[in-house]
């Protein structure tokens, strides 16, 4: 027995050493474990790879009873359980992939007190049969993995997750820990509310990767730009180049080989055999470049990846963060480099619109893309924008991103920003950027007349900029935290605490200057 046998004597640190073979806790692991050990609840926010599992595995071993882990990732359960068993932990899982007799064996082991950890799919957990079993067995804790699945506005919404608050009602004395890598503020508060976790239960690990230098350049001839970047900064280094399409993966890999860089392709159109071989080479060899679609990356833990390059725009900041996060795991300097152009935007918008998904989902995807654009367009520290999105404001500019190192040309957008903000205010803080832009440009349509917005004082006061520029102003205001996007509603924009000083004229704002943009210069000169 790994677990409770020595429970009285052992501390969480001793379990970490003896069972898992690690010398020390990382980040907030110890704090979370201590909280659960005394019967408290916790919400754990850690980036992927941050070490969430130990937060519930160790208390499950130390507390009397079985730790019940709810997870929607059925495909991963077998692996997780196998890994635990190799360490001597008595773990099992229950999901729809099991045969009847396997289920019965596991249920029997649970009732006999022979399990330290039991992974269950949410629909299984909520079944009357399983809940009745739980009534008859001591429970060490409930771990709710991928807790963002409770959010109705997220990608991964699972209706069963909303019902998980019943665990608290039926077993009020059993500690619960919810875990996720999705940490934007609305999702976080939705998890707390729906699972009825106390406000002080949050344990947030830093998402910052200070050794990664973020850079985003305008897309002109992406392969040539990539080549210059590699020649100048990464000759002989291992790295990953992400492209959107399989064709462009093949072509880029070929191009790099012609230019004398060792590279292999990786995408879902290749055979499993080829993919495995290329991935194995990447992990084993020095200085190999993998050119890949987003199919590449799950479980890639190569410490010395010196750069991650994007030739195409990812669809969200979550994706960008995860993909760039594969660089510099060893803590040494690494680059996250990307080319980005308007074509990316058009393509991704079209993907979303033609996806056949529900309207609400599409709206959310568009909004995620807007946030991604906010990062591309910011004149401020990229790391601050990125971390702000993940709910972790960085007080000072980082000094290790392109905008910190080479400030971009800007224009005085104070007056434009004031107009944009008052237009949000005058129309009731409920409308999106396109509608607000129409109002500023003095357009009239049926909807606008119905709301009387063709009569508001901001109607037609924005003729000095065109529609693209106004949308860019709004994107930049969102990126700067001066405007919030209403995730709970319909993606409407509203003012924030920070908007007031700007509206009152107590502060000014500089906006990114797009190349060849005469209208913005004119607006900047206007009194
Ligand atoms: P997450 O679920 O947050 O993505 P995992 O729990 O799978 O992350 O942990 C990621 C990796 O980090 C695993 O290989 C795990 O063994 C390792 N790990 C976790 N905690 C520690 C620690 N305190 N010391 C060393 N390695 C750790
Ligand atoms: Zn910076």
pLDDT in tens, 259-268: 999 999 999 9
Q: Which of 30, 51, 205 is the best mutation target for the ligand 1 pocket, counting ligand atoms within 8 Å of the beta carbon and taking the most?
A: 51
CA of 374 to the centre of ligand 2 (A): 14
Residue 18 pLDDT greater than 90, yes or no: yes
Both tokens assigned to 75: 């495909």
Q: What are the pLDDT digits (tens) for 423-473?
A: 999 999 999 888 999 999 999 999 999 999 999 999 999 999 998 889 888
CA of 403 to the centre of ligand 2 (A): 6
Token match 């009239």: residue?
444
Please, are residues 379 and 191 in contact by the beta-carbon 8 Å criterion?
no
Q: Which of 18, 47, 53, 205 is the best mutation target for the ligand 1 pocket, counting ligand atoms within 8 Å of the beta carbon and taking the most?
A: 53
Closest atom, ligand 1, to C-alpha of 48: 4
Say which range, 10-19, 48-57, 476-485, has the weakest mean pLDDT. 476-485
Among all ligands shown, which has an atom nearest to the Cα of 385?
A: 2
C-alpha distances in Å from residue 163, one per residue of 122, 147, 156, 361: 9, 12, 15, 22
> What is the distance between the alpha carbons of residues 249 and 85, in angstroms, rounded to a whole number?
39
Please, are residues 288 and 281 in contact by the beta-carbon 8 Å criterion?
yes
Residue of the nearest CA to atom 15 in ligand 1? 51
pLDDT band at residue 491 using 50, 70 and 90 as cut-offs: low
Report which of residues 349 and 325 the model is more confident about: 325
Closest atom, ligand 1, to C-alpha of 50: 3
pLDDT band at residue 349 using 50, 70 and 90 as cut-offs: confident
Token match 């992974």: residue?
119
Residue 282 has a pLDDT of 94
Among all ligands shown, which has an atom nearest to the Cα of 15?
A: 1
CA of 26 to the centre of ligand 1 (A): 8
CA of 114 to the centre of ligand 1 (A): 25
Among all ligands shown, which has an atom nearest to the Cα of 404?
A: 2
Residue 162 has a pLDDT of 92
CA of 194 to the centre of ligand 1 (A): 27
Closest atom, ligand 1, to C-alpha of 23: 24
Residue 107 pLDDT greater than 90, yes or no: yes
Residue 515 pLDDT greater than 70, yes or no: no
0.90 cut: is pTM over it?
Answer: no
CA of 55 to the centre of ligand 1 (A): 10
CA of 63 to the centre of ligand 1 (A): 21
Closest atom, ligand 1, to C-alpha of 52: 3
Residue of the nearest CA to atom 9 in ligand 1? 51
Report the run of H or E that residue 320 belongs to, with start and end.
Answer: helix 317-324
Residue of the nearest CA to atom 19 in ligand 1? 51
Q: What are the pLDDT digits (tens) for 371-408?
A: 898 899 888 899 999 998 877 789 999 999 999 999 88
C-alpha distances in Å from residue 284, one per residue of 249, 281, 287, 304, 492: 21, 5, 10, 11, 49
Residue of the nearest CA to atom 27 in ligand 1? 51
CA of 51 to the centre of ligand 1 (A): 3
Both tokens assigned to 257: 């080989």
Say which range, 84-93, 214-223, 419-428, has the weakest mean pLDDT. 214-223
Residue 523 has a pLDDT of 55
Q: List residues near ligand 1 (CB under 6 A).
A: 22, 25-26, 29, 46, 48-54
CA of 29 to the centre of ligand 1 (A): 10
> What is the distance between the alpha carbons of residues 387 and 414, in angstroms, rounded to a whole number?
25
The residues, any chain, with a CB within 8 Å of residue 179's CB and separated by 6 or more, are 43, 44, 46, 52, 55, 56, 143, 144, 145, 146, 147
Angle at 119 between CA 115 and CA 123, to 5 degrees: 130
Residue of the nearest CA to atom 16 in ligand 1? 51
Say which range, 256-260, 417-421, 515-519, has the weakest mean pLDDT. 515-519
CA of 53 to the centre of ligand 1 (A): 7
Among all ligands shown, which has an atom nearest to the Cα of 71?
A: 1
Among all ligands shown, which has an atom nearest to the Cα of 210?
A: 2
Among all ligands shown, which has an atom nearest to the Cα of 76?
A: 1
């Amino acid at each position: 027995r790994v677990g409770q046998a020595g429970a009285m004597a052992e501390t969480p640190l001793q379990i970490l050493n003896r069972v898992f073979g690690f010398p020390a806790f990382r980040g907030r692991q110890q704090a979370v474990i201590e909280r659960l050990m005394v019967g408290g609840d916790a919400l754990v926010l850690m980036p992927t790879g941050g070490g969430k599992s130990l937060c519930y595995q160790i208390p499950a071993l130390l507390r009397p009873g079985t730790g019940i882990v709810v997870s929607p990732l059925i495909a991963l359960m077998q692996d997780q359980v196998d890994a635990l068993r190799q360490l001597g932990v008595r773990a099992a899982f229950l999901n729809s992939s099991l045969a009847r007799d396997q289920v019965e064996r596991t249920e029997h082991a649970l009732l006999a007190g022979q399990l330290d950890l039991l992974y269950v799919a949410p629909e299984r957990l909520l079944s009357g049969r399983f809940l009745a079993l739980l009534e008859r067995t001591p429970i060490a804790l409930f771990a709710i993995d991928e807790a963002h699945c409770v959010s109705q506005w997220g990608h991964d919404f699972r209706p069963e997750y909303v019902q998980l608050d019943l665990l608290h009602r039926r077993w009020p004395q059993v500690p619960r820990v919810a875990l996720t890598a999705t940490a934007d503020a609305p999702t976080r508060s939705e998890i707390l509310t729906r699972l009825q976790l106390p406000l002080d239960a949050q344990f947030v690990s830093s998402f910052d990767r200070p050794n990664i230098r973020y850079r985003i350049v305008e897309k002109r001839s992406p392969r040539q730009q990539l080549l210059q970047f590699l020649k100048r900064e990464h000759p002989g280094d291992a790295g990953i180049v992400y492209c959107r399409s399989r064709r462009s993966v093949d072509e880029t890999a070929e191009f790099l080989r012609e230019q004398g860089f060792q590279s292999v392709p990786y995408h879902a159109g290749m055979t499993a055999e080829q993919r495995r071989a290329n991935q194995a080479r990447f992990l084993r060899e020095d200085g190999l470049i993998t050119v890949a679609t987003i199919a590449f990356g799950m479980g890639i833990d190569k410490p010395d990846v010196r750069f991650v390059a994007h030739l195409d725009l990812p669809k969200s900041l979550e994706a960008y963060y995860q993909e760039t996060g594969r660089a510099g795991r060893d803590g040494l300097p690494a680059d996250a480099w990307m080319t980005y152009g308007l074509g990316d935007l058009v393509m991704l918008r079209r993907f979303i619109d033609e996806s056949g998904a529900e309207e609400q989902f599409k709206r959310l995807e568009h909004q995620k893309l807007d946030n991604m654009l906010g990062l591309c367009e910011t004149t401020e520290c990229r790391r601050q924008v990125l971390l702000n999105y993940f709910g972790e404001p960085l007080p000072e500019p980082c000094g290790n991103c392109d905008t910190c190192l080479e400030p971009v040309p800007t224009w005085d957008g104070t007056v434009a920003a004031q107009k944009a903000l008052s237009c949000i205010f005058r129309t009731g803080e409920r409308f999106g950027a396109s509608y607000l832009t129409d109002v500023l440009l003095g357009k009239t349509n049926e909807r606008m007349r119905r709301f009387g917005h063709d009569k508001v004082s901001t109607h037609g006061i924005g003729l000095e900029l065109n529609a693209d520029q106004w949308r860019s102003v709004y994107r930049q205001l969102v990126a700067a935290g001066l405007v919030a996007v209403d995730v709970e509603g319909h993606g409407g924009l509203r003012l924030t605490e920070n908007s007031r000083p700007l509206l009152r004229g107590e502060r000014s704002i500089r906006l990114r200057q797009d190349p060849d943009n005469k209208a913005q210069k004119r607006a900047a000169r206007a009194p």
